[in-house]
């Protein structure tokens, strides 16, 4: 079974270049999102790295009722469409209910199933029926081999292009740990595996009413994941993470990702 998933003309998987899924956790507004997307498009073009722009229009799984969730579906999808059309990059965002899939699929190139919702059968099936490429994030509460059942759900209604994303597993309270055996285990499903390096250094709920994070360790985990054979890397990126409205503590700034991407590409090339 060939381990490949397609997003338009972009291909990712076995013996293919490392793909980058990156952007801010949540859409703050058009100028901030466009600036981050432009930077990432220029950076990945220079290094010859396939790129998918990520930003959530509604981040429903927040720690507190006071946490910023994003601009909402209508405004957020309009911003993502503008970025997709202006920069000629595929875009990805989360969906949280079956009822929003059809409208989201009109704009998104990749539909993302959040980790907390990866076992929600109706959501997975509706996203799969859209015909869009899926990115299914492994729940922090699941073993890597459990993802095989979720892949079968999506495939049961015809989904062919599926990414699986490792984002760490719950380790006690307010902490995550990564077992890199999960990369080859999940690849046995026939799906490319993406490693989410920034959510893996998140400290869920670690600041009381928000999550903390240790962004300084994200490059370490990203390099280890690519060495373990991950087909792509997922990174939350912000020009000024300390002022980001969501997930700032685990987001990379521009200099950090500029230094990291050539290293990841070099590691991938050694394995090809």
Q: Residues 96-122: pLDDT tens digits? A: 999 999 999 999 999 999 999 999 999
pLDDT for residue 214: 87
- Under the banding of pLDDT at 50, 70 and 90, the label for residue 61 is confident
122 CA to centre of own chain: 21
0.85 cut: is pTM over it?
yes
pLDDT for residue 185: 98
- Under the banding of pLDDT at 50, 70 and 90, the label for residue 268 is very high
Report whether 252 contacts 198 (CB < 8 A): yes
Q: Which helix (H) or strand (E) holds 159?
A: none
Domains of the chain by range and CATH? 18-271 (3.20.20.70)
Cα-based distances in Å from 35 to 28, 32, 38, 86, 226: 11, 5, 5, 12, 27
Q: Residue 209 above 60 pLDDT? A: no
Q: What percent of the chain has pLDDT over 70?
A: 97
- Under the banding of pLDDT at 50, 70 and 90, the label for residue 140 is very high
Tell me the average pLDDT across 128-138: 98
pLDDT for residue 228: 97
pLDDT for residue 49: 98
Nearest CA-CA partner of 163 in 139, 137, 184: 137
pLDDT for residue 207: 66
Nearest CA-CA partner of 112 in 139, 131, 133, 141: 133
Write out pLDDT tens, residues 218-267: 999 999 999 999 999 999 999 999 998 888 888 999 999 999 999 999 99
pLDDT for residue 20: 98
Mean per-residue pLDDT over the chain, rounded: 94
Lookup: tokens for 185 = 């285990």
Q: End-to-end alpha-carbon separation of the chain, Å?
A: 18
Distance CA 105, CA 114 (A): 16
Write out pLDDT tens, residues 145-196: 999 999 999 999 999 999 999 999 999 898 999 999 999 999 999 999 999 9
pLDDT for residue 247: 80
- Under the banding of pLDDT at 50, 70 and 90, the label for residue 45 is very high
Report whether 195 contacts 221 (CB < 8 A): yes
**Tokens 């799969």 identify what position?**
128
Tell me the average pLDDT across 123-148: 97
Distance CA 70, CA 60 (A): 9
């Amino acid at each position: 079974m060939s381990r490949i998933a397609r997003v338009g003309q972009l291909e990712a998987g076995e013996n293919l270049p490392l793909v980058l899924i990156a952007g801010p956790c949540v859409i703050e507004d058009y100028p901030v999102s466009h600036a981050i997307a432009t930077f990432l498009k220029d950076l990945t073009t220079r290094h010859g790295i396939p790129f998918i722009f990520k930003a959530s229009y509604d981040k429903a799984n927040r720690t507190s009722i006071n946490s910023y969730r994003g601009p909402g579906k209508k405004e957020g999808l309009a911003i993502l469409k503008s970025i997709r059309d202006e920069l000629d990059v595929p875009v990805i965002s989360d969906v949280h209910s079956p009822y929003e899939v059809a409208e989201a699929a009109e704009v998104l190139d990749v539909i993302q199933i959040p980790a907390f919702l990866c076992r929600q059968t109706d959501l997975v099936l509706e996203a799969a029926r859209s015909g869009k490429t899926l990115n299914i994030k492994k729940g922090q509460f699941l073993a890597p081999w459990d993802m095989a059942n979720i892949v079968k759900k999506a495939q049961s209604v015809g989904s062919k292009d599926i990414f699986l994303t490792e984002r760490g597993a719950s380790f006690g309270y307010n902490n995550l740990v990564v077992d890199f055996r999960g990369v080859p285990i999940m690849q046995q499903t026939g799906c490319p595996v993406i490693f989410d390096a920034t959510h893996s250094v998140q400290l869920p709920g670690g600041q009381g009413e928000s999550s903390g994070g240790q962004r300084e360790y994200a490059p370490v985990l990203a390099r280890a994941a690519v060495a373990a054979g991950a087909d792509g890397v997922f990174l939350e990126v912000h020009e000024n993470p300390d002022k980001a409205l969501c997930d700032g503590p685990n987001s990379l700034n521009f200099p950090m990702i500029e230094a990291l991407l050539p290293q990841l590409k070099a590691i991938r090339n050694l394995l090809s």
